[in-house]
Amino acid sequence: MINFHILTLFPEMVMQGLHTSILGRAAERGDISIEAVNIRDYTTNKHGRVDDYTYGGGAGMLMQAQPVYDAYRAVIDHVSQNENKNKSARVIYLTPQGKTFCQEMAQDLAKEEELIFLCGHYEGIDERVLEEIVTDEVSIGDYVLTGGELPAMVMVDAIARLVPGVLHNDESAQTESFGNGLLEYPQYSRPEIWHDKQVPQVLLSGDHAKVDAWRLEQSLLRTRERRPDLYEKYREKHPETT
Ligand code: ADE
């Protein structure tokens, strides 16, 4: 069970995206919970403003420290109250300047009970509040998006599917096969012939050992061709690989 808390100016965007399909059902069953906290609800500005010009000049607006900090405090106070103890939680700030997200990071974060995601918008967030509350800065890749919402959704999805109960057993088996560091082998369903293309014969043989061997071979071929970096890593761990 993980409680995800997402601090954002666009709560509908996050809730719509994350309450669909597998994660929506997992939340209904109570295997995870996902809450979006609207940072604007915490501003003390009487016009509801959460952003202002940057000191030193330059284009664009910056999210101010006060509403971000108060939204964060509200989550922490609520969590501590429910659990009847002073709980700390990792706070992940989504930014292109962070460490690049990967499966290993998802596995590490999946061990937590509470995760707080902070989504910036405009030109970013006042550095002083980041210094006080953020424990992890994470990027989802070397490109720039308009805000942290999509990256937060990407991370929640990747982490939530590792929580026990979220995926069915047959689906989690597939996790293992990427967990081993290789790309997936190709897969086929009915009919046996489609557009003159025949399903590989070995998959119809019923010989499970042969099927497994073929799949591993395909995974290796694919990984070598498409992701030589992953292939080299795999070879270091499995010296028997040619
Ligand atoms: N915010 C804007 N771009 C981002 C990225 N690539 N990763 C994480 N947060 C972001």
What domains can be seen in the chain, in order of their start residue? Answer: 2-160 (3.40.1280.10), 176-237 (1.10.1270.20)
pLDDT at 88: 77
Report percent pLDDT > 90 for the chain: 88
pLDDT at 242: 75
136-139 vs 90-100, strand pairing mode: parallel
Ligand 1 mutation target, pool 105, 119, 144, 149, most atoms within 8 A of CB: 144
Long-range contacts of 72-77 (CB under 8 A, 24+ apart): 72/7, 72/116, 72/118, 72/129, 72/133, 74/37, 74/42, 75/5, 75/7, 75/37, 75/116
Distance 95 CA to ligand 1 centre (A): 4
Q: Whose CA is nearest to atom 7 of ligand 1?
A: 139
The residues pairing with 114 across neighbouring beta strands, listed in sequence order, are 3
Residue 101 CA to residue 138 CA, distance in Å, equals 6
* Residue 64 near ligand 1, beta carbon < 6 Å: no
* Residue 151 near ligand 1, beta carbon < 6 Å: yes
pLDDT at 5: 98
Q: Which residues of the chain have pLDDT under 50?
A: 173
Ligand 1 mutation target, pool 117, 139, 146, 155, most atoms within 8 A of CB: 139
Distance 54 CA to ligand 1 centre (A): 20
The model's pTM: 0.93
pLDDT at 172: 65
State how far Cα 100 lies from the chain centre.
11
Residue 142 CA to residue 103 CA, distance in Å, equals 17
